[in-house]
Structure 1
Amino acid sequence: MKALRFSRHGAPDVLEYAEVEPPPIDADSALVRVHGASVNPSDVKNVAGHFAQTTLPRIPGRDFSGVVEQGPLAWRGKEVWGTGGDIGFVRDGTHAEYIRVPVAALVRKPAGLDHAQASAIGVNFVVAWLGVVDYAQLHAGETIAVIGAGGGVGGAVTQIAKSLGCRIIGIDRQPVDASSPAGKRIHAFVPFDTHTVAAVRSLDGLADGVDVVFDSVGGIAFETALGLAKRRGRVVEISATARRRVDFDLIDFYHNETQLLGADSAKLGVVASARLMQAVARGFDNGKFDAPVIAHRYALSQGRQAYEAVAEGTPGRVVIEP
């Protein structure tokens, strides 16, 4: 089969478009023909050497959508999707014509999504679900502030929060497109600047802050995130953009009884992620979530170009279609 593979870390030009042996399967695994596999910023960082757990040589790629070709009879011919913090890191990933997946990780793809759309869901929705539902335990009637609402993870958070019956405050450097999945769901937009905390607390009913803050930016946004939380509010962090170490007033923090939560979807392998992908699939099947817009599509042979587009910050979702 054809695959993208890297034997050393570096820029996207270290990726080889190579002929490799299809992965063998056993009684506990299935062979999935990949029809769509998105390229995430974490995939670019993986190739660049940001993840110590990655073993080489390696086929990268975390998200996929495809059809089961070999495996248990009940699964053959079924359209499936998935993601995992192990595939592309310690087991071969999705930027190939085929991927071997444990049977326990197989999840039916939502019927309303094509393969390209389905392949652009995994990483964003899994970390959003992990932080919002599992860790922060956001529930109906609460208010959530989403820092980075215009991004892929932020957009997933807004959709999940809306499905739970919550009020959503979108925060970003630029206004969120009102026609986007996130833009259609936020109740108020506040620019990310030195006045963000005051602006959010000036909104009706939010003088004391919000129940939950989902900070998809981190680092430079960390102090703002803490400042938005009401007493006993929950703050979820998933990144450390531009600044790994942060300072904050510890006395204010404990007087406010703030709960600080880190959410790392890379800790969830493809099997552990299946539970979350099933929950997300139900949301799509029930019409609660909108399909992502695919901005750029590449053949597998154009894999380097796909990675370069993501590395350069090209807006929109990038998908490889083997």
Structure 2
Amino acid sequence: MKAIQFKTFGSPDVLEYVDVPTPSADAQSAIVQVKSASVNPSDVKNVSGQFEHTVLPRTPGRDFSGVIVEGPAEWLGAEVWGTGGDIGFTRDGTHAQFLKIPVGALSRKPSTLSHEQASAIGVNFVVAWLGTVEYAQLKAGETIAVIGAGGGVGGAVVQIAKARGCRVIGVDRQPLQPDSPAGRLADEFVMLDEHVTERVKSLSGEGVDVVYDSVGGIAFEATLSLVKRRGRVIEISATGKRRVEFDLIDFYHNETQLLGVDSVKLGVADSAPLMRALVEGFESGALQPPVIAQTFALEQARDAYQAVASGTRGRVVITM
């Protein structure tokens, strides 16, 4: 089969379009014929060497949508989707024509989504669901501020929060695109600048119940200032700097809960229950797929990775 592979870390130029053996199923696994696979910023970081657990040589790629061609009889021909923090890192990933995954990782894709759309869901919506539903236990009627609302994860958080009956304040360094999930659904918008604290509190009173910070680093201190007493703060990134300072007395007086979320820790089988939980939202229309900005053929993977590395707004997808 054809696949993308990297043998050394570096820029997208290290990616090679190669022939590799097609995987075969066994009693514990199935083979997915990959139809589409998105390229995430974490895939670019993986190729550049920012993940210590990556084993070379490796086919990268975390998100996928495709059809089962080998495996349990009841799954043959089924359209499936998925994501994982092991595929593309310690096992070969989705930027290939075929993918071997454990049977426990199988999840039927929503019938309402095309393969391209379904392949663009995984990382963003899993880390959004994990932070809002599993960790922060966001409830109907609560107010959430989403830092980086215009991004892929931020947009997913906005959608999940609105579907759960919450009020959403979108926060970003630039105005939200009107056709983006956050632009359509956020109840309020606040610029991420030196006035963000006073503006969010003018909208929420004593502060919000939950802050989902998809930026981190340079935004961390401002993030902590937005949450009410006993509120929850979700951190998934460290943009700009990885070491931060904050007033520890203010922190514990406010009884703030600070929660870190790392979807890379979830293997493809661990992620499957979260993918299954998302199906109903997409099939009912409560959740909408992100905008696909660009599509590339597998042999154009370097260009796809470069598009993501350059900050293309919207999702980048490889079609097989």
Write the mapping of 1:255-294 to structure 2, written as runs, cut at 5 A: 255-294=253-292
Corresponding residue SS for 1:221? helix
Counterpart residue type for residue 260 of structure 2? G
What runs of 5+ residues in structure 2 fail to find an aligned partner? Answer: none
Is the 2:293–2:312 contact (alpha carbons within 8 Å) kept by the matching residues of 1?
no
Is the 2:105–2:269 contact (alpha carbons within 8 Å) kept by the matching residues of 1?
yes
The alignment status of 1:212 with 2:215, answered yes or no, reads no
Alpha-carbon shift at residue 179 of structure 1 (Å): 2.6
Corresponding residue SS for 2:18? strand
Equivalence for 1:321: 319
What CA deviation, in whole Å up to 9, does each residue of 1:156-214 have, x standing for no partner? 000000011000000001111223222121000000000001001111xx120000000
The alignment status of 1:182 with 2:187, answered yes or no, reads no
Q: Larger deviation: 295-304 or 177-186? A: 177-186
Q: What is the aligned-residue RMSD (CA, Å)? A: 0.6
Equivalence for 2:130: 130
Q: Larger deviation: 222-231 or 171-180? A: 171-180
What CA deviation, in whole Å up to 9, does each residue of 1:105-134 have, x standing for no partner? 100010111000000000000000000000
C-alpha distance in 2, partners of 1:33/1:282? 24
Is the 2:31–2:101 contact (alpha carbons within 8 Å) kept by the matching residues of 1?
yes
What CA deviation, in whole Å up to 9, does each residue of 1:257-316 have, x standing for no partner? 000000000000000000100011111012110122111000000001100111111221
Query: TM-score under structure 1 normalisation?
Result: 0.99
C-alpha distance in 1, partners of 2:189/2:120? 25
C-alpha distance in 1, partners of 2:259/2:289? 28
Query: TM-score under structure 2 normalisation?
Result: 0.99
What CA deviation, in whole Å up to 9, does each residue of 1:136-164 have, x standing for no partner? 00000000000000000000000000011
C-alpha distance in 2, partners of 1:49/1:198? 39
Equivalence for 2:231: 233
What CA deviation, in whole Å up to 9, does each residue of 1:56-93 have, x standing for no partner? 00000000000000111100111000000000000000
The alignment status of 1:7 with 2:7, answered yes or no, reads yes
Counterpart residue type for residue 303 of structure 1? A
C-alpha distance in 2, partners of 1:268/1:185? 29
Write the mapping of 1:298-309 to structure 2, written as runs, cut at 5 A: 298-309=296-307
What CA deviation, in whole Å up to 9, does each residue of 1:6-30 have, x standing for no partner? 0110000000000000112201111
C-alpha distance in 1, partners of 2:312/2:287? 24
Counterpart residue type for residue 37 of structure 1? A
Q: Larger deviation: 64-73 or 287-296? A: 287-296
Equivalence for 2:195: 195
The alignment status of 1:61 with 2:61, answered yes or no, reads yes
C-alpha distance in 2, partners of 1:60/1:135? 28
Counterpart residue type for residue 150 of structure 1? G
- 4+ residue runs over 2 A deviation: none
C-alpha distance in 1, partners of 2:149/2:301? 28
Equivalence for 1:73: 73
Counterpart residue type for residue 100 of structure 2? R
Counterpart residue type for residue 77 of structure 2? G
C-alpha distance in 2, partners of 1:299/1:213? 38
Corresponding residue SS for 1:90? coil
What CA deviation, in whole Å up to 9, does each residue of 1:202-256 have, x standing for no partner? 11xx120000000000000001110000000000000000010000000000000
Is the 2:24–2:70 contact (alpha carbons within 8 Å) kept by the matching residues of 1?
no
Equivalence for 1:223: 221
Percent of residue pairs identical: 67
